[in-house]
Chain A
Amino acid sequence: MDLGLKDKVALVTGAGSQIGFGKAIALTLAREGCDVICNDIDIEGAEQTAAEVRALGRRAIAIKADVTKSAEVNDMVKKALEEFGKIDILVNNAGHAFARGPFVEQKEEDWDKDINLNLKGAMICAKAVLPNMLERKSGKIINISSGAAKRGGPFVEAYGAAKSGVGGFTKSLALAIATQGINVNCIAPAIAITNFVGGKLTPGVQRMIDEIPQKRATTPQDVANMVAFLASDVSAHVTGQMFSVDGGSTTTT
């Protein structure tokens, strides 16, 4: 199926990790014909991802920016627009859980980090990119939420709350700009062997996998495929939704 993504420009945040969702998203969009802005605070990683996008025959730039800082994000978007002239697709992928363990032992400053990175970061990036999309009455915003938003995230409560917030933000923004030719959706993956879990299949992670009906972890490619679908006009009538890509973990809504 031709997703019609040739020559679209995508900004993917948190695309520096070499085992994360962001890189798989960047490369999958590149294979569909997109040019990609690879963002991360880890610029070496972002450069590596950008190099692999270029190896697929598409243009790419790596930009270092902390998505929790408006000034850095605004600079990034300005630079991206100077380079590519437009941003068709924004993938708010950057995320992490800092506050972990028993709730009462978590540090308040880690909650702030969780809320700022996962929720406010997505809002800051959307705000920076939207003027260009609104002007052209065309755009796709894809936020990465989490299964923790739907099922709850024990021992990462602030992360779960932030990711629930991403779901609410997705709906509200989708409604506000539904007639402007801009689709806003989000994806809720299950556990994956990324930096979120230190890149390792620990016994704890294995226990989570055992509870998944399909008995496997979510892969970066699973998420990237869903992003490609949502970034395409074949899903033009889909907006404001949260998509579970989780092997059937969440069959409750």
Chain B
Amino acid sequence: MDLGLKDKVALVTGAGSQIGFGKAIALTLAREGCDVVVNDINIEGAEQTAAEVRALGRKALAIKADIRNKDEVDNMVKTALKEFGRIDILVNNAGAPGIGPPTSEEVWDINVNINFKGTWYVTNAVIPHMRERRSGKIVNFSSSVARSGTGGLYAAAKEAVIGLTKSWARELGPLGINVNGIAPGMGDTGFQIAAKATPEQKQRFISTVPMRRLTTPQDIANTVAFLVSDVSSDITGQTIQVDGGDYMF
């Protein structure tokens, strides 16, 4: 199926990790014909991902920006627009779990600022441009744990992203801008390293997933490619579970 993504420009946040969702998203979109702005706070990682996008024959630009910092985000979007002239696709992939007691304000700040406020900053920076062109695709990242509430403040922040997705979808729907979300199951990504999941914990989790496996970055990237294409143009405001059936509603 031709997804019609040739020569589209995508901004993918958090695409520096070499084992994360962001890199798989960047490369999958590149294979579909997109140029990619590769963001991360880890610029070496972002450069590596950008190099692999270029190896696929598409243009890429790595930009260091901390999505918790409005100035850095605004500068990133400005630089991207200067380089590519437009942003067709925004993938708010950057996220991280703040591990610790849910009563700690520090843990609250990490979870809320990266996962929720960071998504808000980046999207706010890109929306004026999409509004002007009356065209655009935004994909936000929630999490399967947001649905089940099994992830403390991280789950709460990721649930908040679902609300943001719906509100933006209603606001931007008449302008032809689609806003959707993905709620992935547990992946073998930096998230687990951050959460210090033991192999036993991982196995226990897998045994509860109907499909008995973790979510892969490619699983996520495939759904992103579908959602940022016009073949799914009637879909907006949805947060889609890509989690092996972990959560159904």
Q: Does A226 contact B (CB under 8 A)?
A: yes
Distance to closest chain B CB from A85 (angstroms): 25
CA distance A1 to B166 in the complex (A): 27
B169, B226, B248: the one contacting A248 at CB < 8 Å is B169
Q: Is the CB of B245 within 8 A of A219?
A: no
Q: Is the CB of B32 within 8 A of A241?
A: no
CA distance A235 to B28 in the complex (A): 14
Q: Is the CB of A251 within 8 A of B169?
A: yes
Q: Does A207 contact B (CB under 8 A)?
A: no
Q: Is the CB of A1 within 8 A of B236?
A: no
A-B contact pairs, 10 of them (CB 8 A): A31-B1, A175-B248, A178-B210, A234-B226, A237-B185, A237-B219, A240-B248, A243-B238, A246-B235, A253-B249
Q: Does A218 contact B (CB under 8 A)?
A: yes
Q: Is the CB of A240 within 8 A of B222?
A: no
* Contact residues of B between 145 and 175, Cβ < 8 Å to A: 165-166, 169-170, 173-174
Q: Is the CB of A243 within 8 A of B240?
A: yes
Q: Is the CB of B1 within 8 A of A1?
A: yes
Interface residue SS majority, chain A: loop
Q: Tell me the nearest residue of chain A to B234, going by C-beta.
A: A222
Q: Is the CB of A235 within 8 A of B222?
A: yes
* Contact residues of B between 190 and 225, Cβ < 8 Å to A: 210-213, 215-216, 219, 222-223, 225
Q: What is A's interface to B at a CB cutoff of 8 Å?
A: 1-3, 31-32, 171, 174-175, 178-179, 189-190, 212-216, 218-219, 222, 225-226, 228-229, 234-248, 250-253
A228, A238, A245: the one contacting B1 at CB < 8 Å is A228
Q: Is the CB of B231 within 8 A of A225?
A: yes
Q: For B238, what are the chain A residues with a Cβ–Cβ distance below 8 Å? A: 243-244, 250-251
- A32 with B1: in contact, given A178-B210, A251-B237 (CB under 8 Å)? yes
Q: Is the CB of A238 within 8 A of B223?
A: yes
B166, B173, B210: the one contacting A247 at CB < 8 Å is B173
Q: Does B77 contact A (CB under 8 A)?
A: no
